[in-house]
């Protein structure tokens, strides 16, 4: 292993946790994270001013109150800090906001993880070790998908297959549980797009990477904050923000349809010459609907892109930080 610049000082670690309506899990998550950070400090692996940054995504329950209590309670010795978005902007945006806040506050390394304890806190040790060994980005990769429902497993697999075919590099079986150092965060901060898909952007940054394997647990308490609709919109964002292949497929389909139309033309002319009667009512009806449907679908795909161009062209802020704890 190469002797890298990372060795000379204990890094300041920020664990960034997006929280949306997580009042049920926060007490346990914060307890475990505090214990983990203390043990890493005692082992002299990370600096004493390392912290847990809880990023509230406009929760409607007591999540933000809990975060403020954790921050204010002197028994935690200032290990907890937080930011709160003015509105629910979604997992990717709040995670980005949290990472940028950590970077501004001078972290050397960040680890992002879900609030629901599905990501294995003990894997943080190995992530930090990999960083000390020279990696700038360390992916948490899950060993198996046994804790997922059959449906989620199949759809996730299909999605990553499609992504790969369209040329987007992702790390299979990894989500947003990863370590990034300040260098990588600095690079990430340059990405100004509205439709964020971090799982595609981070691998495209480059840098030294490593992988750490872990077993993904069940959600500790509460229910998933990722209903099917949010999952679908993440998938569409993932594809459209990295690839124009769907647009090209529309063009290809157009070419195929024109070719079919030419064949039909030839057929029609031949039938006309040989005086066959007009008996093609069924085929006519079918083709009208089929071509109409194909056109609508193609327009829809083009529309997805046009809509995104429109959103990007406004250069709106991705999120507004309403409150920040020290």
User: Which spans of this chain sit near Mg ion (rule: CB under 5 A)?
Assistant: 114, 116, 118, 219
To the nearest whole angstrom, how small is the minimum distance from the Cβ of residue 272 to ligand UDP?
60
Nearest-angstrom CA–CA distance, 21 and 37: 24
Sign of the dihedral through C-alpha 163, 169, 172, 178? negative
Interface with ligand UDP includes 91 (CB under 6 A)? yes
Nearest-angstrom CA–CA distance, 278 and 267: 12
Nearest-angstrom CA–CA distance, 14 and 103: 9
Q: Which of 10, 13, 22, 102 binds ligand UDP (CB under 6 A)?
A: 22
Question: Hey, which residues between 211 and 230 contact ligand UDP (CB under 6 A)?
Answer: 219, 224-226
Interface with ligand UDP includes 118 (CB under 6 A)? yes
Nearer to ligand UDP, 90 or 200 (CB): 90
Chain residue at closest Cβ approach to Mg ion: 116
Residue 119 binds which entry of ligand UDP, Mg ion, none, CB below 5-8 Å type-dependent = none
Using alpha carbons, select from 148, 55, 54, 36 the residue that is nearest to residue 93: 55
Give the interface segment with ligand UDP, choosing from 16-24, 125-133, 270-278, 305-313 (CB under 6 A).
Answer: 16-24
Nearer to Mg ion, 17 or 107 (CB): 17
Nearest-angstrom CA–CA distance, 171 and 118: 18
Residues binding ligand UDP: number (CB under 6 A): 17
- Say if CB 54 and CB 70 are below 8 A apart: yes
Give the interface segment with ligand UDP, choosing from 15-23, 40-48, 127-135, 270-278 (CB under 6 A).
Answer: 15-23
Residue 143 binds which entry of ligand UDP, Mg ion, none, CB below 5-8 Å type-dependent = none
To the nearest whole angstrom, how small is the minimum distance from the Cβ of residue 19 to ligand UDP?
5
Residue 18 binds which entry of ligand UDP, Mg ion, none, CB below 5-8 Å type-dependent = ligand UDP
Crossing angle (nearest 10°) for helices 91-104 and 198-205:
40
To the nearest whole angstrom, how small is the minimum distance from the Cβ of residue 117 to Mg ion?
8
Give the pair of three-digit tokens for residue 74: 């002197």
Residue 237 binds which entry of Mg ion, ligand UDP, none, CB below 5-8 Å type-dependent = none
Interface with ligand UDP includes 20 (CB under 6 A)? yes
Residue 181 binds which entry of ligand UDP, Mg ion, none, CB below 5-8 Å type-dependent = none
To the nearest whole angstrom, how small is the minimum distance from the Cβ of residue 114 to Mg ion?
5
Q: Which residues pair with 181 in a beta bridge?
A: 109
Q: 53-72 mask for ligand UDP (x: CB under 6 A)?
A: ----x---------------
Nearer to ligand UDP, 51 or 216 (CB): 216
Residue 91 binds which entry of Mg ion, ligand UDP, none, CB below 5-8 Å type-dependent = ligand UDP
Q: Which of 41, 49, 88, 246 binds ligand UDP (CB under 6 A)?
A: 88
Which parts of this chain interact with ligand UDP (CB under 6 A)? 18-20, 22, 57, 88, 90-91, 94, 114-116, 118, 219, 224-226
């Amino acid at each position: 292993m190469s002797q890298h610049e990372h060795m000379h000082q204990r890094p300041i670690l920020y664990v960034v946790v997006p929280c949306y309506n997580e009042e049920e899990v926060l007490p346990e998550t914060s307890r475990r994270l505090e214990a983990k950070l203390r043990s890493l400090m005692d082992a002299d692996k990370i600096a004493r001013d390392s912290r847990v940054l809880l990023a509230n995504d406009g929760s409607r329950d007591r999540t933000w109150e809990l975060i403020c209590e954790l921050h204010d309670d002197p028994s935690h010795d200032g290990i907890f800090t937080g930011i709160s978005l003015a509105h629910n902007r979604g997992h990717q945006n709040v995670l980005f906001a949290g990472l940028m806040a950590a970077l501004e506050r001078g972290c050397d390394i960040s680890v992002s993880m879900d609030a629901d304890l599905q990501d294995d806190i003990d894997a943080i040790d190995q992530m930090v070790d990999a960083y000390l060994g020279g990696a700038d980005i360390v992916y948490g990769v899950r060993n198996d998908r046994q804790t997922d429902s059959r449906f989620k497993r199949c759809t996730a697999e299909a999605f990553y297959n499609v992504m790969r075919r369209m040329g987007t590099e992702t790390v299979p079986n990894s989500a947003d549980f990863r370590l990034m150092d300040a260098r990588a965060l600095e690079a990430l901060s340059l990405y100004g797009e509205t439709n964020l898909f971090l799982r595609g952007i981070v691998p495209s940054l480059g840098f030294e990477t490593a992988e750490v394997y872990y077993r993904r647990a069940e959600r500790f308490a509460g229910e998933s904050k990722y209903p099917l609709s949010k999952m679908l919109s993440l998938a569409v964002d993932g594809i459209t923000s990295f690839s124009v292949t769907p647009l090209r497929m529309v063009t290809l389909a157009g070419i195929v349809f024109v070719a079919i139309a030419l064949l039909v033309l030839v057929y029609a002319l031949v039938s006309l010459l040989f005086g066959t009667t007009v008996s093609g009512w069924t085929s006519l009806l079918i083709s009208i609907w089929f071509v109409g449907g194909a056109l609508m679908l193609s327009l829809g795909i083009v529309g997805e892109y046009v809509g995104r161009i429109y959103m990007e062209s406004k250069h709106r802020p991705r999120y507004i930080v309403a409150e920040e704890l020290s």
